[in-house]
Structure 1
Amino acid sequence: MSEKKSHLIHELFVRNRRALTAYLVRRVGSEAAHDLLQETFVRALRHDRFDDVADPPAFLQRIAANLTRDYGRRRRTEAKYLSFDRILGEPPSWDAPQDEIVDRDRRAQRLASAIEALPPRCREVFELCAFEDMPLPEIARRLGVTERMVRQHMRIAMQRCWAAIR
């Protein structure tokens, strides 16, 4: 990365952080806002021709808006398809001992946290496979990555999920 680009991004961050954070908090809440703010600037840094962008603050706003749309879409998908029963097993019966019910709830919370903590691409691969029953070759085609990379993401996701619920 060039010194000029690094300096430009730093200046944009200093000038636009507060406004972008406020925008993101309004759209996705304070928990996710800081992660999306960071991702906004990471994407700007990765943009090959950032030096040619006519209005960098507007460009950052567009990136943030796209990220909030993706975030909302992901949350809707999770709410629709996310069923921990497939990973955690059948829920305890209504007459099960209270400690069994509490234990399953705790494991479910740890699993949800583990999934949320996965790197974005790893989480996306895991969700497509685990909750949408998409085959690995189709995930690779859809995401534009190799099947080997999809298998690697799944291996990491499964290790972390299993570790979280044990």
Structure 2
Amino acid sequence: MPQSKHDLLNNLFHYHSKELLAFAGCRVGDFAAEDLVQETYLRLLQHPEPSSINNPRAYLYKIIANLGFDHHRKENVRSKYAETDEVELDELVSPLPGPEALMEGEILFRNCLTALKTLPEVYLHIFLLSRVNGLTHNEIATNLQLSRQTVERYCSKALSQCFPHARQNRDSSSENR
């Protein structure tokens, strides 16, 4: 008379659970052994025809061995990508400026642009090519067909126009603190 799935599982668990737990403990350590044994019985339970297995005990050992390999593979991946030193989130510092610094920079930039608009347009254009676009004085001179000294003089004039506004902005922001 064929055994039911439930009876087969009960018998296997009753007769082999301790030895399977010891075997799993040798494979993955005592901490994860119970999970492995439980997963083994769940896999057996999912088998479509457990009564068709010729040697259920050997089948359980094979499942535990395979789960042990999977466990070690997962642990290797986790340890490979896990940080060794845990960092407190409160101790992390962003390399980006804070909102106050961004606002101060925005105000300074607007003040400098206002000051620069009082200069001739060519001064402003050369200054923006240098400071915003990052072109060198040689590149600007070549592109605009000017001498390098002229480009340097225009940039210098534009910077000197910005300095009073930059100082004014710093002085007013330090008074507010």
Instruction: Give TM-score, length-normalised by structure 1.
Output: 0.49
Who wins on radius of gyration, i.e. which is larger?
2
Instruction: Give TM-score, length-normalised by structure 2.
Output: 0.46
